[in-house]
Amino acid sequence: MRVRRILLLTLAALMLLAVSSCGSAKKSRPFDQLKVTGSMQLDFATQFSVDYYEGGYKMLSLADGSRFFVVPEGASLPDGADQVAVPIYQPVQNIYLAATSAMCLFDSLERLDAISLSGTKAEGWYIPAAREAMKDGKILYAGRYNAPDYELITASRSPLAIESTMIAHASEIKEQLEQLDIAVLVDQSSNEMHPLGRSEWIKLYGALLNEEERAEQVFSEQAGYLNDVSGSAPSGKTVAFFYVSSSGRIIARRSGDYVSKMISLAGGKYIFESLGDSTSRSSTVALEPEFFYSEAKDADIIIYNATIADEVSSIGQMVGKCPLLADFKAVKRGNVWCTNKNMYQETTALGQMIDSLHKIFA
């Protein structure tokens, strides 16, 4: 009887302790009682916003209506927060990055360590640090945005997939990732009207990783290039920006897209004033040879877009792709330039690109 009594007393003590512990558990503060302490200042970007809450919480809101509630390390999710936004817990690691334009933003933040999976193969990167990270096995290829390796992504315990707006063409992929409890953030920097609005997306990722100070530093440097250029009078020189596809088609940028705006900000004038449908999501337009010749033959400067097509090392090589170019004013005068392969991946360097264009147009 005595042993039994001791056991009963012990069990009673344990039960009392359990009840006491449950009663003293810290309850999460309701989300609707959290106070907003400030908002991120944005100079050009319009497709996202960041609000700061007491306790170190952050709300990332995107133009497509999606919202992400960032929970600081060691904190609990406030009651009701998951009803208004998708929770993301810091530290954010093992990201599956399918949005190509965002890699340089993480690189500039010196936070490639937050990415473990890529939607682009190593040879597809023109960002040295990203290519090296993949060659070293620090970042693994997990399939393109429209064909992700779900098994690898789940095995890597990825909490977040960052997609480009191309995911709209594969909505079932987004739904599948979400069903696997993977938050899907669609990078909408390509919808920014101002070129530096794209660069300013580094601030969103800075907020995600607690790297706001570094993000501001990188962005301010690019804004500085634009400020230096904006004080100069426009050169007025006309510019044709295009490439020749493998099938011989002339492909130019749509008027009003960010490339034509960079040309304008740099003091030049895009030769195609009303090319393409402004309501279309496509940024390029295929041109008939006759139209291309009549519109662009008198352009002061040609910039050959080698980001998609093969690079050209000489004017003769470019003319070989399109013999019509031999009669162009810029070709005859030698005012022909070629982009590097990394142009579309260098989102953080758009201010510097505007500065380079300004020097060409001067």
Q: Domains in the chain, please, with CATH?
A: 31-225 (3.40.50.1980), 233-361 (3.40.50.1980)
Beta strand 269-270 with 36-39: parallel, antiparallel or unpaired?
unpaired
Tens-level pLDDT at each residue, the chain (362 residues): 343 333 333 333 333 333 333 333 345 679 999 999 999 999 999 999 999 999 999 999 999 999 999 999 999 999 999 999 999 999 999 999 999 999 999 999 999 999 999 999 999 999 999 999 999 999 999 999 999 999 999 999 999 999 999 999 999 999 999 999 999 999 999 999 999 999 999 999 999 999 999 999 999 999 999 999 998 999 999 999 999 998 889 999 999 899 999 999 999 999 998 887 666 667 899 999 999 999 999 999 999 999 887 788 999 999 999 999 999 999 999 999 999 888 989 999 999 999 999 999 99
Determine how many CB atoms are found less than 10 A away from the CB of residue 126: 18
Nearest by Cα to 149 from 126, 176, 129 = 176
Pairs from 323-326 (Cβ < 8 Å, separation ≥ 24)? 324/289, 324/292, 324/293
For residue 191, give the DSSP letter: G
Residues with Cβ within 8 Å of 244's Cβ and at least 6 positions away in sequence, in order, are 250, 251, 309, 318, 321, 322
**C-alpha to C-alpha distance for 212 and 41, rounded to whole angstroms:** 11
Residue type, 325: L
**Cβ partners under 8 Å of residue 315, min gap 6:** 331, 334, 336
Q: What phi, psi does 334 have (nearest 5°)?
A: 75, 20
Q: Give CA–CA dist 79/66, Å, rounded.
A: 19
CA distance 87 to 181: 10
CB 66, CB 48: distance < 8 Å: no
Give the pLDDT of residue 280: 64
Contact 127, 104 (CB under 8 A): yes
- Give me the residues paired with residue 267 across strands: none
Residue 210 CA to residue 175 CA, distance in Å, equals 28
**Closest to 189 (Cα-Cα) out of 171, 170, 205:** 205
